[in-house]
Every structure is written in structure tokens, then in C-alpha cells.
Amino acid sequence: MCVQAPARNRCANGPPPPERRGVSRTMPDSLAPVSASGFRTIRHQGCSMTEIRLFLADDHAMVRQAIADLLMRDPRFAVIGQAADGDALLQAARYHDWDITLLDLAMPGPPSERIITSLLELQPAQRVVALTMVDDVAVAVRLARAGLAGFLNKGAPFEELLNALLRIRDGERVLPAAVGRALRHPDPTVNEDPGLTDQEWRVLRLLCSDHAPADIARTLNVSRSTVSTHLRNIRDKLGVDTNAAIAAWAERNGLS
């Protein structure tokens, strides 16, 4: 995990702001301190505001660094840490606090739903935002029910990301319209969440889009045996015996 500490700053018209401490627990030597000052009062376009402290979690180092470089150009944001997998992210959250996590849904480690619930248990005031290349309404609804505050596409313009982060900082949830409708008006005919992992949901959606197992393996860049394992796990969790029955279950639940 790479951790960066934002520089200490003074408000232009007053004394330095009070310090905001991180979580007061003994920190292992493998984790560097996030920040000595925690947060600071800054001025942006004539307005005083609290800097938004962000933590980036993505298994692609170049993606993390590109997002961090863009965010750090804006004085409203401070990227205080990075993690390449879910376990490192949760370890950091046990010893430090921040405002918003930008979470890649496809990185190694625990399922995204478990990461979100664990983060919110450790830091109830935190907001978790998914950054993904996959616009999957079913996954977004499931994660929103777990506490996700935002579901954003990595291909969106950067200004859209900045605006979404400001809205989320102010307490809004930034979710696709279809997700909002599903949360407001849940379909009583849809079965309970079967507990599929993020990757199992992806396999299910591809299967329902007429992808053969070999096509699914190529699309997800995994082996055929891995896809077979996912399909077996999906059948077990849904209580069905065939891949055709998986597709039928998805159709009954409005997922295909």
C-alpha cells in the first residue's frame, strides 16, 4: 500500500484549523502514517471548505496513479492512500480514517459487498464509491443496499467524477436512475439475493447474454476451469442443476 500525506495548510484569514486525528489504535510498522494533520481548511474560488480526503483502491497501479494525479490538482481533494486489493484497503481502514473510498469492483480480495459493509462498520461516516467499467444494474442495486454511496463509470469525463464526489461529500447518493428506481420500488416477485460474488454475477450476466463458457473465459481473461467453478457455485447458490436453469432464474428475476 502506498500512502501519501497532504501538506499542512493555514486558512488565509485565521489560525490553523483544529487537528483531526485518525483512528487511535496501535499501528503496525508496515503501515506509514496517513497524515499528521488529518484535515485542513482551505479556500477554493473564494469559499472556505474542508478538504475531502480520498483513498483509492484499484489493482492497476497506473489507473490509481492517473486518478490520484488528476485529483491532487484540485485543492478541494487530498489522496491520502492507495491499495491494490481489498485486504490492504481494510487493513488501512483499521488504523486510519478518511472521507471517501474510490473502489474498483474487480480487484483481488473479498467481494465488493463485504468490503463495503466492513468499511462502514470500521468508519460509519465514510462514503464508498464504486469506479467500474461495467454498468451492471443488478450489481449496483446489491451494492447500494450494502451502503454504496456512488456508482460511477471509469469512462465518464473527469469533471463528472469531481462533481459526483462533491455531491457525495454533501450527503447525496450518486447512482444510475435504474438503480434509484429499484431501491425505491423493489419488485416483490424478485427472489432474495442468492449471495453471488461480483465475479459470479459477471459470469451469470454473460451466460444470459448467450456467451458460451469459452467466450466467458476470454471476456473475463480467466481459464475455462475457473468459469466452470463459477458456474458450479452459481448453480449451488441458486439451487438449480443446469446452466439453462441459471438463465431461467435470471429471466424470472428480471436480470436478463
The CATH number of the domain holding residue 34 is 3.40.50.2300
3-state DSSP helix/strand/coil percent for the chain, to nearest 5? 40, 15, 45
Q: Is residue 12 over pLDDT 50?
A: no
Q: Where among 183, 209, 227 does a domain terminate?
A: 183
Q: Is residue 88 over pLDDT 50?
A: yes
pLDDT at 238: 84
Q: Is residue 188 part of a domain?
A: no
Q: Which residue has the higher pLDDT, 169 or 3?
A: 169
Q: Which residue has the higher pLDDT, 93 or 111?
A: 93
Q: Is residue 234 part of a domain?
A: yes
Q: Are residues 140 and 209 in the same domain?
A: no
pLDDT band at 7 (very low <50, low <70, confident <90, very high): very low
Which SS3 state, helix, strand or coil, does residue 48 take?
Answer: strand
Q: Is residue 16 over pLDDT 50?
A: no
The single residue listed with the C-alpha cell 496501535 is: 26
Q: Is residue 71 over pLDDT 90?
A: yes
Under DSSP, the state recorded for 238 is: H
CA quadruple 23, 29, 34, 36: dihedral positive or negative? positive
Q: Are residues 146 and 103 in the same domain?
A: yes
* Range in 19-33, 128-142, 160-174 with the lowest mean pLDDT: 19-33
Q: Is residue 191 part of a domain?
A: no
The single residue listed with the C-alpha cell 459477471 is: 202
Q: Are residues 135 and 238 in the same domain?
A: no
Q: Are residues 66 and 178 in the same domain?
A: yes
- One DSSP character per residue, 111-142 reads -HHHHHHHHHHH-TT-EEEEEES---HHHHHH
* Range in 62-71, 83-92, 131-140, 247-256 with the lowest mean pLDDT: 247-256
pLDDT at 226: 93
Q: Are residues 202 and 98 in the same domain?
A: no
User: For 107-150, what is each residue's pLDDT tens digit?
Assistant: 888 888 889 999 999 999 999 999 988 777 778 888 888 899 99
Q: Which residue has the higher pLDDT, 142 or 35?
A: 142
Q: Are residues 10 and 128 in the same domain?
A: yes
Q: Are residues 20 and 75 in the same domain?
A: yes
Q: Are residues 177 and 220 in the same domain?
A: no
pLDDT band at 176 (very low <50, low <70, confident <90, very high): confident
Q: Which residue has the higher pLDDT, 5 or 137?
A: 137
Q: Is residue 29 over pLDDT 50?
A: no
pLDDT at 38: 36
| Domain around 239 | 198-252
The total number of structural domains in the chain stands at 2
pLDDT at 190: 52
Q: Where among 148, 183, 218 does a domain terminate?
A: 183
Q: Are residues 23 and 124 in the same domain?
A: yes
Q: Is residue 46 part of a domain?
A: yes
Q: Are residues 44 and 11 in the same domain?
A: yes
User: For 205-239, what is each residue's pLDDT tens digit?
Assistant: 889 888 899 999 998 889 999 999 999 999 988 88
Tell me the pLDDT of the chain averaged across its residues.
Answer: 78
Q: Are 69 and 114 in contact (CB under 8 A)?
A: no
Q: Is residue 169 part of a domain?
A: yes
pLDDT at 19: 39
Q: Is residue 145 part of a domain?
A: yes
Q: Are residues 176 and 206 in the same domain?
A: no
Q: Are residues 38 and 78 in the same domain?
A: yes
Q: Where among 183, 216, 231 does a domain terminate?
A: 183
Q: Is residue 109 part of a domain?
A: yes
Q: What is the mean pLDDT of residues 85-102?
A: 94
Q: Is residue 52 over pLDDT 50?
A: yes
Q: Is residue 37 part of a domain?
A: yes
pTM, rounded to two decimals: 0.61
